[in-house]
Amino acid sequence: MICPNCGSNMSDKRKRCERCSTDITIYKKVLRTSNLYYNNALTKAKVRDLSGAIVALQKSLDLNKLNTSSRNLLGLIYYELGETVAALSEWVISKHFQPVNNDADEYISKVQSNLTKLDSLNQAIKKYNLALGLAKQGSDDLAIIHLKKVVTLNVNFIRAYQLLSLLLIKTGDAARAKKYLQKVIKIDVSNTTTLRYLKELEIASTTKDLDGNPEAEPIGGISNTIVPISSYREDKPNVMAFVSLVIGIVIGLAFMAFLIIPTIKNNSSNSNDSSDYTDSGYSLAQIQEMNNTNTALQKDKTDLEKQLSDLQKQIDTAPAPEDNSQIYDSLINATELYFVEKDKAASEQDFMPIADLLSGVDDTKLKLDSAVTLLNQLREATYPSVASLHYDNGHDLYGSGKYDEALVELMKAATLDPTNVDALYFTARAYHKLGDNENAVKYYNMVITDFPDSSRVHDSKDYLKQVQK
């Protein structure tokens, strides 16, 4: 024991301090009383008289603030009642007075280790404060909603239960208020507020009952447990059961007559008539074989369809055969015309349409040698005179300055008679006059190269120089 006056250690049995001679009888009595209150509080806490325990512990601490056991127990009780902050405060103060060998360490660390739980408890407190504000403003419904959430977040929050019950009583929901108050009673059996509300509810219930309200039920629901006993009556034979049985039998017989028996008969006749009866194993083998055949046929069909498709594509993409009859028609027509013109006088002969027809015939597409021979003969007979006519026309047009028209005629002349160097020369000249130097050079060169002995070569070379300057 420590002397309150000088702070020196002293024996518990002594009444005076050996060092400062201070009488510590009262001091020792105060400490004993504080411990007495602690013991009293512990007893109450063990039977869940938490409100009573709080009062005793507060007295104990008023006497001796250094009573660590009292303070720690007070913190535990606060925590049990949902007063988290009050609990933490007590444990922190306890640790302040007794830094070592203190159970408060364990309590604080347990609370702080589960941050989720701590956050949930703090949320419950905030919502409770919000609900209290709403209730004071008259928004009972909103407050009730918030408080219901609070009691789910912190199931031991006594004050929240009490406020919720009060608001429920106010709104007329006595049953739920009672339910919540009974939860509170399980946590703290002697909470005066809870007991007062419960008593009010009981009084209200009794008053209703006395007023003759048939819906009012006495506390405990005794009416539900009492069942009136009916008088004894002997069971009469149940006629309806017998009738139902007869109807069931009739329906069953009808079902057999119309559905089952015809089916059996049909199966029987089928089995008698079937001469090619085979066992199920054989039938399965046959089915399997047929399936295989079917698969093979399907495959063949697919292949054939593919072949058909390919052939159709080949037909579609193949070049269409030339219409030989048209080629030979042109040749025949040209021949007929030639004979017509040949019978005419030389001055009246016009081989130009014949040359036009022949120029449209493609030598390479003629299959018959005789046709090719005929074509060549006709060309030899007609082309030089027609070429000469075209040249004359072209030369006249060139002379009159119609170079475009002259070119057409001169080109025809050169095509029909490739030996006509004049036609080539004037073609080059016409291009030269038209300013088409590229073609002019081409035709001048043809004159110079293909007909080196021609009289047109000298002029062609001169003009070629002019063009190439």
Residues at the site binding other proteins, with contacts judged by CB under 8 A? 4-5, 20, 22, 26-27, 30-31, 61-66, 83-86, 88-89, 92-93, 118, 121-122, 125-126, 128-129, 132, 135-136, 159, 162-163, 166, 169-170, 193, 196-197, 200
Closest CA to 340 of 361, 413, 375, 332: 332
Residue 179 or 458: which CB sits closer to other proteins? 179
Residue 62 or 450: which CB sits closer to other proteins? 62
Residue 2 or 256: which CB sits closer to other proteins? 2
**Separation between Cα atoms, residue 133 and residue 131, nearest integer Å:** 5
Residue 125 or 421: which CB sits closer to other proteins? 125
Looking at 98-153, list the stretches that DSSP marks H as alpha helix, in order from N- to C-terminal side.
Answer: 104-113, 115-137, 140-153
**Tokens representing residue 366 in the block:** 């003629």
In the complex, least distance from residue 124 CB atom to other proteins, rounded to whole angstroms: 9
Give residues with Cβ within 8 angstroms of 135, minimum separation 6.
143, 163, 167
Residue 36 or 93: which CB sits closer to other proteins? 93
* DSSP 8-state code for residue 9: B
Cα torsion angle, 127, 130, 136, 140, sign: negative
In the complex, least distance from residue 62 CB atom to other proteins, rounded to whole angstroms: 6
**Tokens representing residue 148 in the block:** 């219901």
**Separation between Cα atoms, residue 192 and residue 198, nearest integer Å:** 10
Burial class (CB in 10 A: 0-12, 13-18, 19+), 139: middle
In the complex, least distance from residue 163 CB atom to other proteins, rounded to whole angstroms: 5
Residue 66 or 287: which CB sits closer to other proteins? 66
SS (H, E, C) 198-238: HHHHHHHHHHHHHCCCCCCCCCCCHHHHCCCCCCCCCCCCC
Amino acid letter, residue 421: V
**Tokens representing residue 292 in the block:** 């295989």
**Angle, helix 115-137 to helix 104-113, in steps of 10 degrees:** 80
In the complex, least distance from residue 166 CB atom to other proteins, rounded to whole angstroms: 6
Residue 126 or 344: which CB sits closer to other proteins? 126
Residue 87 or 430: which CB sits closer to other proteins? 87
Q: How many CB atoms lie within 10 A of CB 443?
A: 25
**Tokens representing residue 329 in the block:** 């028609």
CB 399 within 8 A of CB 432: no
In the complex, least distance from residue 233 CB atom to other proteins, rounded to whole angstroms: 50
Closest CA to 428 of 417, 420, 437: 437
Question: For 195, how many CA atoms within 13 A lie in the half-sphere containing its CB?
Answer: 7
Residue 112 or 377: which CB sits closer to other proteins? 112
In the complex, least distance from residue 3 CB atom to other proteins, rounded to whole angstroms: 9
Measured between alpha carbons, how far is residue 249 from residues 240, 256, 351, 419 in Å?
14, 11, 115, 122
In the complex, least distance from residue 145 CB atom to other proteins, rounded to whole angstroms: 17
**Tokens representing residue 23 in the block:** 């009488």
Residue 179 or 299: which CB sits closer to other proteins? 179
In the complex, least distance from residue 57 CB atom to other proteins, rounded to whole angstroms: 13
